[in-house]
Amino acid sequence: MEIHIVADAEAGARVVADVFARTLREAAVAGEEGRGAVLGLATGSSPVPAYQELIRRHREEGLSFAGSRAFLLDEYVGLPAGHPQSYHRFIREQFTSHVDIDDAAVLSPDGAAADPRAEAAAYDMRIREAGGVDLQILGIGANGHIAFNEPSSSLASRTRVIGLTRRTVEDNARYFDSPQDVPVRALSQGLGTILEARRIVLTASGENKAEAVAQMLEGPISARWPATALQLHGDVTVVVDEAAASRLELADYYRHLRRLDEEHPVTATA
């Protein structure tokens, strides 16, 4: 893993946006004409600063998402696409409607599907049919969940219906008029689905995420902390602020590695 400990959310957003920009450039060079990157998009508060930075780069620097496709990580069961708290609506309001990606190319699970389990399987297949995700952005929950993969999730799990823990429901209650309105189930990409992305970037901030970040980076791989599954992936960038990094035992080493990259970059030899 490539670990960046940054001063604040703005600094972290620049690192995340750099990973997006690199992925978009690579797709433009390697892909077929008119075909961009396949992006995996997360909702919630953690990725919003990165989305704002990407919107700025699109408007001011010409960063283009033309030809790209996107798949959302998850959606609440029972919420139609137009619901104010649906992730379908969130990603458009916070990100995709502000850049040059075709709205029809931004896909999310159908939370209002008559058969949620069949919808989950179909959504997993749509990701595969698209050739897989080139870059997946993730946040992390205080209990170590990524997407809605709560503790006890199988490391090989696929997109499925998940029951949410009380803690997750309580954490998400701030987005709803009352706690009783918070859905208790979600459609979510599984850990196995997420690990098939070619590149992953995870961003976190705040002391309430510190234990989850420490377990993810330095703890044993365990279904108790689902994010530890990322240790099995070969291309993960983790971007955390000082508060979220406060329980890392090897924080000084991670900072040392970033200084080495800046002062003594590894370059290809002829």
Provide the CATH number for the domain around residue 100: 3.40.50.1360
Within a domain: residue 262? no
pLDDT at 124: 97
Within a domain: residue 235? no
pLDDT in tens, the chain (270 residues): 999 999 999 999 999 999 999 999 998 776 555 568 999 999 989 999 999 999 999 999 999 999 999 999 999 999 999 999 999 999 999 999 999 999 999 999 999 999 999 999 999 999 999 999 999 999 999 999 999 999 999 999 999 999 998 888 888 888 888 888 889 999 999 999 999 999 999 999 999 999 999 999 999 999 999 999 999 999 999 999 999 999 999 999 999 999 998 898 887 655
Catalytic hit among 124, 143, 149, 172: 143
Catalytic hit among 145, 149, 172, 241: 145
Catalytic hit among 110, 124, 134, 150: 150
Catalytic (active site) residue 242? no
pLDDT at 33: 52
What is the number of domains present in the chain?
1
Catalytic (active site) residue 208? no
Catalytic (active site) residue 61? no
Structural domain of 119? 2-133+153-196
Within a domain: residue 141? no
Within a domain: residue 221? no
pLDDT at 252: 97
Within a domain: residue 144? no
Catalytic hit among 74, 75, 124, 241: 74
pLDDT at 44: 87
Catalytic (active site) residue 145? yes
**Taking the model in full, what pTM does it have?**
0.94
Within a domain: residue 51? yes
Within a domain: residue 231? no
Q: Which string of DSSP letters, residue by residue, matches the chain?
A: -EEEEESSHHHHHHHHHHHHHHHHHHHHHHSPTT---EEEE--SSTTHHHHHHHHHHHHHH----TT-EEEESEEETT--TTSTT-HHHHHHHHTGGGTT--GGGEE---TT-SSHHHHHHHHHHHHHHTT--SEEEE---TTS-BTTB-TT--TT--SEEEEPPHHHHHHHGGGSSSGGGS-SEEEE--HHHHHTSSEEEEEE-SGGGHHHHHHHHHSPPBTTBGGGGGGG-SSEEEEEETTTTTT-TTHHHHHHHHHHHHHS------
Within a domain: residue 45? yes
